[in-house]
Structure 1
Amino acid sequence: MLPLNPPQCRAARALLDWTQAELADRAEVSRSTIRDFESGRHDLHRASAAQIRRACEDAGVVFVDVEGVGPGVCLRETEPDQRA
């Protein structure tokens, strides 16, 4: 599992239209943990990073690492593509 970085965290929240408080609530961490991580004030403990990642993934975020581009996020399709 690739490490979570602050821009990915902000981008995941943006895709989900979540505030820092909403992410903190869903990940069961403090809002200050989200705020300080996203602003680069401190790194996350491994457990906090896993909780944040899991909350985002449960809501449909996919964390990716694109060769030649770097880490990013996208949303999983909610329904399989029906086109053949």
Structure 2
Amino acid sequence: MLGISQTELAAAAAVSRQTVVDFERGARTPYPNNLTAIRAALEAAGVEFIPENGGGAGVRLKRGAYTVQAAPGGSDPDDLKAGKAEV
């Protein structure tokens, strides 16, 4: 969704990379303060958390959030382009 690495997320949240790895694998749930920091880092990057409302909780990119994606037909880093996300 964002295209950021575990290392980048860990740095943005000021938690260890291992905390992010373990959370993604389902190996453990982070301590509440780390979970709050991870959520804040994701929100700062443009992720919006959608509360449970009978249809299940979820996430989406905020309107106007910027994403980085590969240009059509290319996977070379020089072909990457930034643009506003269509939500």
After TM superposition, the score normalised by the length of structure 2 is: 0.68
For the pair shown, which has the larger CA radius of gyration, 1 or 2? 2
Residues 1:70 and 2:35 are matched in the alignment: no
Match of 1:33 in 2: 19
Matches within 5 A, 1:11-50: 15-50=1-36
| SS of residue paired to 1:74 | strand
Q: Which moved more, 1:60-69 or 1:15-24?
A: 60-69
Runs of at least 4 residues off by over 6 Å: none
The C-alpha deviation readout for 1:12-46, integer Å capped at 9, x for no partner, is: xxx11111111001111001000001111111101
Aligned-residue offset at 1:67: 2.8
The structure in which a higher percent of residues are strand is 2
Which among 28, 46, 67 is matched to residue 60 of structure 1?
Answer: 46
| SS of residue paired to 1:70 | coil
| Partner amino acid, structure 1, of 2:2 | L
After TM superposition, the score normalised by the length of structure 1 is: 0.70
Q: How many pairs were matched up?
A: 65
The root-mean-square deviation of aligned C-alpha atoms, in Å, is: 1.5
Distance across 2 between alignment mates of 1:19 and 1:69: 29
Query: Identity of paired residues, percent?
Result: 42
Listed as ranges, the gaps of 5+ residues in structure 2 are: 66-87
Listed as ranges, the gaps of 5+ residues in structure 1 are: 1-14, 80-84
